[in-house]
Structure 1
């Protein structure tokens, strides 16, 4: 299992969470100022420099339960509260979107381009907050430092690690069903057309080489009429503002990016082998997840719940966010406190992250709630 998959997983899941929240804020005609505050607060917490530096240290991917808890707390980092049913649905949409992208990426190394698409989108969503933009740029440089020169084999390990995380997740999402990108059983489909992976040739050609490695002749064979391959696209740019080429990782809830992303033409069901049974929980992963949760909790300053005047946002009340199961669901809303600025505790943490070493964590502290103390005691 790759020890480098955790930051990739976190950043892609976080990007999808912001896509969904931004779409719902727009759909409900929430005033722009209030929407920007919600989005900027959450992105600011995601991109927190100290948390990201800890996240990028080589470590096992968090167990599913711990990863869900991370995003549960992250979603409440701003002046926003979600009920349990809304958070369940939000997390299902996030995970299925990222699973779809990892499934369909032409080659394992394209996962980095998908991640950069999410980073680019977060930068656009945060265009009015210079501090958040600086943190996003720092995360970009961390990605380049850790991932830009990885071998294809390492990217394959990362992809397998991500797919292992997503195994047994088959939630139906209407945007995939409508685009013929997902079957009624929740499995995705693989397109049998379009450009081949970068660095490869169109199938159908057989080449013969002599002992010196020189091609001496070639012939071809006909492809299935259901297959229509095209030459590979140029490689995506890894520059900070470059053209990623791939549409995977862009906002599926925008019409301009949804249509090419979910094109249903000439596709067939994905042939899957039976999924392996989940492995036993790695104790080391649990410890790392606890450390990560405690750091995130301290950075978010979640000791006090926001209070005051709130407005309600219907998070998943339209067809684009239903699972098309036909079952009735209670109305699911989030409450956003728009009357208060960021909490004093959070402001203090964000303004001064160079806190002196704290003493050892006391035994009466809740596990997973005071990560910063644990990290300081271990430093």
Structure 2
């Protein structure tokens, strides 16, 4: 039915399309027509064809509406029939349910009867087991009660024995404690007596300490006054010391200024003496070398002629030497040694003495004090070796500086 309806619609659409094309093609002809009668005739034909086309469309619409109405009626009939079938089906289902319920109730009653029978049997068996267990438990409880009664009797006997023993111990302890209380009371009385005696001693000592404190206060005030006097005296002494130090410093500066020309003269004379010594040394050295060469010539002749021995010329280094042998170094070391010996023997301190002794070569069988004394004697007794114009400025120097200056001039 649906296929026929579709085919019918397609055929009608094709015929309508052909008719519409035919109508549309005639409109072009109408534009070319110029005669009014022909144009009116053509328009009339076009209207007739359009009316025919519309009539066919309306007819198709009517057919479709009629078919739709028929289908609606068929649908209503089908719904009614389906409702009747459903009611019939429900009635049959309810009847089957009633039959099944009756069957299930019968089966349930049979099952309940069987379950009730089994339950009674289980209850009977469990009741028998429970009664047997109760009887056994009662027997055990009775036995436990008898054993407990026996233990209670034994414990009562032990308790009575302990009571008697504790009573005896309590009595003995009570007697001992009473004796201890009496002894402690005696000791308390003794301690009270000792406390009283100590209290009296402490009071006496307190009075003595108070008196001593008063005496110490008086002595402290006296010491404070004495300390104040000593402070004032110390301040005065410090002032005097500062003045004397200033005065001595000024005198020392003046003496140092006076001593500077003396040092310059000393250096000048030392240089001149060194030059003279060098000239004398060179003269004597040439003479000694000539004598040495003569002795070597005689020795060279004596060996082969008198002794018959080959002669070898000895190597004497001093034949090639010109000038004094380390004179300046020896002079400097002698002066330094004298200064160190004098410093070591002057007693300026253990530290300086130790440092000097490390630098000075030990002298065999001569102590440091002896060496110092010898140098002082040499300085005092050798004044004739120095000019009088050099001796006068030395009186302003100290003994140590004066001795060193004299020794330096003598050793130069």
Same fold (TM over 0.5): no
Larger Rg: 2
- Normalized per residue, the structure richer in helix is 2
**TM-score between the two structures when normalised by the length of structure 1:** 0.18
Q: Which has the higher contact order (CA 8 A, sep 6+)?
A: 1
- Normalized per residue, the structure richer in strand is 1
